[in-house]
Amino acid sequence: MTEKALDVVVVGSCMTDLVSQAPRLPKAGETIHGHKFFIGFGGKGANQCIQAARLGVKTAMICKVGKDFFGNNYIQNFKDNEVLTDFVSQTSDEATGAASIIVNKEGENAIVIVAGANMLLGKEELQEALPAIRRAKVLLCQLEINPQTSLQALQMAREHKVKTVFNPAPAISDLDCNFYTVSDVFCCNESEAELLTGCSVADVEDAHRAAQELQKRGCSAVIITLGSQGCVVLKAQESKSIHVPAAAVTAVDTTGAGDSFIGALAFYMADQPAMPLEEMARRANQVAGVSVRAVGTQTSFPSKRNLPAELF
């Protein structure tokens, strides 16, 4: 199957989500009573891969999990979502990554992650996965694995003329400047843009300025997501960014909404490459808007059959 063309290949993280629902987020040193707990599948890389797959493109995941119960379950989860698992490797040296998530009644969340096996994904695994990378239409990376592994994957994709999407999350202030030059689309949220540029990003006007600053560093195109305010899109070779508003929705749980957006964006880049980037972003906003209406991360991600036909 790896000899066949793939649409979206994701190099990134897998996390087991340990989710607690509570009336509010606890203060430092405080213990509060929650009302529901469940275990789910998460990790930015896997989330984005699953969302793209559910929209109908051929996807593959390049990642590392532990030789443990959570790792075995995650591999089965990929198979259940028709994601190619040839390059999902297991290790006895670390446990499968885990994320402890608290969600309040407004749908806001606080998250602590322990990367575990994710940090052992490296050059050897990328070389083994080169047949998949070079046949992809879009390669997608984030920062929940070793940053140099993500950078190398993006560089490999560029060498084979594969479109690249980079999501600098969780953001780091000392991001290697080469990430900008290997990103066809550099997609971050407002807090990530703020950390990377050093400028406040509180509204659409701030996002316009931040997008221009990021593009100056070498990105072909920049998207800054703004939650309920939609996103700002700055296309390649253009000096003025475009605000793409989002439809108003009542959020139940915002966990994973950004990953839903980026997975949908990768879907459109692979499936409709001639579509204007701002239209891809508008449709990705709608997909992510559906995801916040349900509890959980991947459990909230919509499939093609659950979305309006006009999105396709």
Residues 17 and 297: their CA atoms lie apart, in Å, by 8
Of 266, 261, 253, nearest to 157 (Cα)? Answer: 266
pLDDT at 1: 46
Q: Say if CB 71 and CB 90 are below 8 A apart.
A: yes
Q: Where are the domains of the chain?
A: 6-14+42-96+118-166+246-311
φ/ψ region of 297 (left if φ > 0, alpha if ψ in -120 to 50, else beta) reads alpha
Q: Is 44 marked within a binding site? A: yes
Q: Is 144 marked within a binding site? A: yes
pLDDT mean by block of 10 residues, the chain; 312 residues: 78 93 94 94 96 98 97 97 97 95 87 93 96 96 97 98 97 95 97 95 94 94 94 92 89 87 98 96 95 87 94 94
Q: Is 225 marked within a binding site? A: yes
Helix (H, G, I), strand (E, B) or coil at 189: strand
Helix (H, G, I), strand (E, B) or coil at 100: strand
Q: Is 239 marked within a binding site? A: no
pTM of the full predicted structure? 0.91
Residues 208 and 223: their CA atoms lie apart, in Å, by 10
Q: Report the top-level CATH class of 6-14+42-96+118-166+246-311.
A: alpha beta
Q: Which residues are catalytic?
A: 259
Q: Is 227 marked within a binding site? A: yes
